């Protein structure tokens, strides 16, 4: 049984092998003294709890492996097997929620267009994009066209929500990536794509702009 003097981060791990328990990292470090000791250890001079957030860094622990495929920083430690199953699930659920509750990237970028058929022909035939979705919705009153860029995860939607027609035309805040701006510019012009600006070098790389049939202008760049 753990003694009050062992209610520290290091103490919990020193007894882990005897209890046949596995360490699990969790941001709620304050659970350790509550779960493993009948009374929290208080420093005789400072009258503070033995486990302090600014003291955890002094523990010689880098990472704790919960199970294959799960390694997390050991900033806060608890011992798993002394917990009830429901308590263990709560702790793991909190850790997983912190991992999953993050934005991972851009899924779809919408390009406002006047005529979807004209735009679809341009982006597939001139730029080489592929059709992922082309179907009607909303009782057949609206049409959703979604395009894939070969080799990329992000998608484009040729769609203009009702009331946002004023966004069609002009510079669009979207930058396409290519391997060589000069070669790409020549390839686009050979297929009849109009450039809004010729390639030029900047401090961050090389860029140019092209224009679609609706007058939307886009930057394409390379390092």
Q: Does residue 20 or residue 41 have the better pLDDT? A: 41
Q: What does the chain come to in residues?
A: 223
Evaluate if pTM is beyond 0.85: no
The 3-class secondary structure across the chain, one letter per residue, is CCCHHHCCHHHHHHCHHHHCCCEEECCCCCHHHHHHCCCCCECCCCCCECCCCCCHHHCCCCEEEEECCEEEECCCEEECCCCCHHHHHHHHHHHHHHHHCCCCCCCEEEECCCCHHHHHHHHHHHCCCEEEEEEEECCCCEEEEEEECCCCCCEEEECCCCCCHHHCCEEEEEEEECCCHHHHHHHHHHCCCEEEEEEEEECCEEEEEEECCCCEEEEEEEC
How many Cβ atoms from other residues are within 10 Å of residue 99's Cβ? 10
On whether the CB atoms of residues 120 and 158 are closer than 8 A, the answer is yes
Tokens of 49: 């709890």
**Rounded to an integer, what is the distance from CA 101 to the centroid of its chain?**
9
Cα–Cα distance, 94 to 92 (Å, whole number): 5
Compute the Cα dihedral for 83, 88, 94, 100 and give only its sign.
Answer: positive
Tokens of 74: 């050991």
Cα–Cα distance, 113 to 213 (Å, whole number): 9
Q: Does residue 184 or residue 35 have the better pLDDT? A: 184
pLDDT digits (tens, 9 = 90+) for 30-85: 444 444 444 555 656 656 655 554 444 444 445 544 555 544 454 444 544 555 56
pLDDT of residue 141: 87
**What's 108-222's CATH class?**
alpha beta
All CATH 3.10.180.10 domain ranges of the chain, comma separated, are 108-222
* Integer-rounded Cα radius of gyration of the chain: 29
pLDDT of residue 19: 41
pLDDT digits (tens, 9 = 90+) for 113-157: 999 999 999 999 999 999 999 999 988 889 999 999 999 999 999
Tokens of 131: 């059709």
């Amino acid at each position: 049984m753990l003694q009050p003097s062992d209610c520290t981060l290091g103490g919990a791990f020193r007894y882990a092998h005897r209890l046949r328990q596995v360490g699990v990292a969790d941001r709620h470090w304050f659970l350790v003294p509550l779960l493993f000791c009948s009374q929290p250890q208080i420093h005789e001079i400072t009258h503070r709890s033995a486990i302090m957030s600014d003291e955890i860094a002094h523990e010689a622990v880098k990472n704790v492996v919960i199970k294959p495929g799960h390694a997390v920083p050991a900033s806060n430690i608890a011992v798993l097997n002394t917990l009830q199953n429901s308590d263990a699930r709560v702790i793991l659920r909190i850790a997983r929620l912190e991992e999953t509750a993050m934005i991972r990237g851009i899924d779809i970028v919408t390009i406002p267009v006047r005529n979807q058929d004209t735009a679809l022909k341009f982006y597939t035939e001139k730029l080489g994009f592929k059709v992922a979705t082309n179907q009607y919705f909303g009782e057949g009153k609206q049409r959703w066209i979604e395009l894939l860029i070969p080799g990329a995860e992000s998608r484009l939607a040729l769609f203009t929500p009702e009331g946002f027609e004023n966004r069609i035309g002009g510079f669009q805040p979207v930058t396409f990536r290519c391997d060589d701006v000069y070669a790409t510019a020549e390839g686009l012009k050979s297929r009849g794509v109009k450039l809004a600006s010729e390639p030029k070098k900047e401090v961050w790389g090389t860029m140019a702009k092209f224009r679609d049939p609706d007058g939307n202008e886009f930057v394409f760049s390379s390092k």
